[in-house]
């Protein structure tokens, strides 16, 4: 208990002391009127003290008159004036000036300048008002900053949404482009494979077989046919067909230009698509040979703006060719057209390399190749092989009389006579100048004599008309022949012996056929001597 009382006695003065300290340090803000009254009162008291001291020290009689006014009254008036002035200055300092600054700040804030702040120079009413106003401005500034941040966040969100929308659209475009690129790559790959396939063949017949095989394997089409213009350019003939009931029989069919869908496609050079063949009057079903139902696409074959044929594609379902497939098949048609033209160029180049420009017969180089092949075959299988050497009689005189143009015409007509009167297995060529040579496989000497005589008679009966004078020119030929194995044992001797027989025929009066063994020994020696001359005498 004593310890408890002791604690209470010690605690009580500590509490009183702390409260005293708190009261001592507490500051109470003075209001503006109090400041004015205190300042004015202080000045008035100071003046009263000073004036009382001066009057006492100077022993001034306050009752004396100054300008007819008692001195005390003058002194009171002066004191009142000073007090009034001090009150006015104090009111200006403590009220007017701070209020004017606060009003200026409020005006700026009213115009939107929320970052301005009122000066807090006192703790009076105006100081408290300034402090509260500054706090309000701070809240407004914070709200404005929050609003600006919210607007920026909203703007950012809108931009982000816009970018996301654009990215989504771009992503869709990219996906579509990727699909298109994938389809394009697939189409290009297919076109490359088709191009490689169709360009692997250069012979015309082999080419159409390869085209049919490649198109069937790569495009998986049910039916298709390739038609090309004939030599007249007025008729389309089926050159290749697949999927028809009788595809080989279709090779005999054709159309005139402008006839049916196929003829119209070639005539106009435009692709024609028939979605339903049963509703198209122009579709002729290959002139009734093949009833085709479903979809039909006719794509012209064009090379350097020249339409020379068409490919017809068929499917059994109605409207089964999409725009992309039509575009692809047009490109396929271009590949096929290029392959066909390459084959034509190769055939033409090959023909030029083995044919004589003037007569259209094989040239000497090609004849030598054929002769070697036939010679090896005859020797291996012990078959007969005969050779005719033919020369136009008095040809130099014809050239000098009628001119070289007429001479060329005679050579062309002689060439046609020779081609028309030999077999398919026989080979006729222009050997040089007015000389011709005929190779007769599987033909003995008697057979060769019969062929030579037939050719001689055909030439003798032909009348070669000269253009300007309209006169007919008789032309005869001399023929010499040799045969294997009757006359020769070596390849080189076959031509030499036939040439010897030809010289003998010309020496015997021309327009005749002579075989090699018919020559006498003097004739043989003379023929050998003549062979050493560079050209034959016509």
Nearest CA among 482, 351, 501, 479 for reference residue 421: 479
Whole-angstrom Cα distance, residue 277 to residue 284? 9
User: Per the residue annotation, which of 434, 435, 453, 490 is the catalytic one?
Assistant: 434
User: Would you say the C-alpha torsion 255, 258, 261, 265 has a positive or negative sign?
Assistant: positive
Cis peptide before 234 (omega within 30 of 0): no
Cross-strand partners of 313: 224, 297
Whole-angstrom Cα distance, residue 183 to residue 189? 10
User: Is 36 exposed, middle or buried, given 0-12, 13-18 or 19+ CB atoms closer than 10 A?
Assistant: buried
434 flagged as catalytic: yes
Residue whose entry in the numeric block shows the structure tokens 């475009």: 173
User: Is 57 exposed, middle or buried, given 0-12, 13-18 or 19+ CB atoms closer than 10 A?
Assistant: exposed
Listed in sequence order, the residues at least 6 apart from 360 whose beta carbon sits closer than 8 Å to its beta carbon are: 412, 415
Written as six digits, the tokens of 191 are: 């076109």
The separation between the first and the last C-alpha atoms of the chain, rounded to the nearest angstrom, is 174
DSSP state of 30: P
Whole-angstrom Cα distance, residue 270 to residue 265? 5
Whole-angstrom Cα distance, residue 296 to residue 265? 12
Q: Which residues are catalytic, by number?
A: 434
């Amino acid at each position: 208990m004593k310890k408890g009382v002791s604690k209470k006695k010690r605690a009580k003065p500590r509490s009183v002391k702390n409260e005293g300290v708190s009261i001592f340090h507490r500051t109470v803000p003075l209001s503006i009127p109090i400041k004015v009254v205190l300042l004015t009162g202080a000045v008035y008291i100071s003046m009263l003290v000073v004036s009382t001291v001066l009057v006492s020290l100077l022993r001034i009689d306050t009752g004396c008159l100054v300008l007819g006014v008692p001195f005390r009254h003058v002194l009171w008036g002066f004191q009142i004036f000073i007090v009034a002035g001090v009150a006015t200055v104090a009111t200006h300092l403590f009220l007017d000036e701070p209020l004017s600054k606060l009003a200026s700040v409020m005006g700026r804030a009213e115009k939107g300048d929320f970052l301005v702040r009122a000066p807090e120079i006192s703790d009076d009413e105006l100081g408290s008002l300034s402090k509260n106003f500054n706090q309000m401005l701070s809240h407004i500034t914070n709200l404005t900053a929050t609003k600006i941040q919210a607007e920026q966040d909203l703007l950012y969100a809108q931009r982000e949404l816009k970018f996301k929308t654009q990215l989504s659209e771009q992503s869709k475009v990219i996906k579509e482009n990727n699909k298109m690129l994938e389809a394009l790559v697939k189409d290009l790959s297919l076109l490359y494979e088709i191009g490689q396939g169709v360009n692997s063949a250069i012979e015309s017949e082999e080419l159409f077989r390869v085209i049919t095989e490649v198109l069937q394997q790569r495009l998986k089409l049910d039916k298709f046919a390739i038609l090309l213009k004939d030599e007249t350019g007025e008729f389309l003939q089926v050159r290749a067909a697949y999927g028809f009931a009788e595809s080989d029989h279709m090779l005999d069919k054709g159309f005139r230009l402008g006839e049916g869908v196929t003829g119209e496609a070639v005539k106009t050079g435009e692709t024609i698509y028939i979605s339903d063949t049963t509703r198209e009057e122009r579709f002729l079903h290959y002139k009734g040979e093949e009833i085709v139902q479903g979809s039909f696409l006719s794509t012209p074959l064009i090379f350097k703006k020249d339409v020379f044929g068409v490919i017809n594609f068929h499917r059994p379902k109605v409207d089964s060719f999409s725009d992309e497939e039509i575009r692809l098949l047009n490109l396929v048609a271009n590949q096929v057209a290029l392959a066909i033209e390459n084959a034509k160029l190769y055939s033409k180049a090959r023909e030029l390399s083995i044919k004589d420009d003037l007569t259209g017969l094989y040239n000497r180089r090609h004849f030598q190749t054929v002769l070697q092949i036939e010679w090896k075959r005859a020797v291996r299988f012990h078959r007969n092989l005969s050779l005719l050497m033919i020369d136009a009689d008095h040809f130099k005189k014809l050239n000098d009389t009628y001119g070289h143009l007429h001479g060329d015409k005679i050579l062309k007509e002689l060439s046609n006579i020779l081609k028309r009167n030999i077999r398919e297995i026989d080979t006729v060529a222009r050997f040089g100048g007015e000389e011709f040579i005929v190779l007769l496989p599987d033909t003995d000497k008697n057979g060769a004599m019969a062929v030579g005589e037939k050719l001689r008679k055909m030439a003798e009966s032909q009348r070669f008309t000269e253009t300007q004078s309209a006169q007919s020119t008789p032309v005869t030929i001399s023929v010499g022949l040799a045969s294997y194995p009757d006359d020769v044992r070596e390849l080189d001797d076959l031509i030499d012996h036939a040439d010897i027989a030809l010289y003998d025929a010309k020496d015997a009066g021309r327009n005749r056929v002579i075989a090699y063994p018919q020559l006498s020994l003097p004739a043989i020696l003379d023929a050998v001597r003549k062979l050493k001359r560079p050209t034959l005498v016509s």
